[in-house]
Amino acid sequence: MAINSEVAMGNEDEMARAVAQGLHQYEHERREEARRRYLKQAWLGIGAGVIFLLAVLASFGKLG
């Protein structure tokens, strides 16, 4: 019976490590996803700003 409980304890340790590693991977993926979303928003904001500036310059006839 003692061998069986040692095996069960070993399995629990492995499961705990797997869960911890899975949580770490999940958090890492969430951070990467958030980073990509912020970068996308930044590029869209820059693009919108450029388009706005071009529209303002065009309204004053400065573009040609």
Confidence at residue 9, expressed as pLDDT on a 0 to 100 scale: 64
Give 1's DSSP letter: -
- Distance separating alpha carbons of residues 40 and 63, to the nearest angstrom: 28
Measured distance CA(34)–CA(28) in Å, rounded = 10
Rounded CA separation 16/21 (Å): 8
Largest CA distance in the chain: 89
Structure tokens at 44: 């869209």
8-62 per-position pLDDT tens digit: 667 888 888 888 888 888 899 999 999 999 999 999 999 999 999 999 998 888 7
Chain centroid to CA 53: 31
Indicate whether this model's pTM tops 0.85. Answer: no
Q: What is the pLDDT of residues 32-42, one digit of tens each?
A: 999 999 999 99
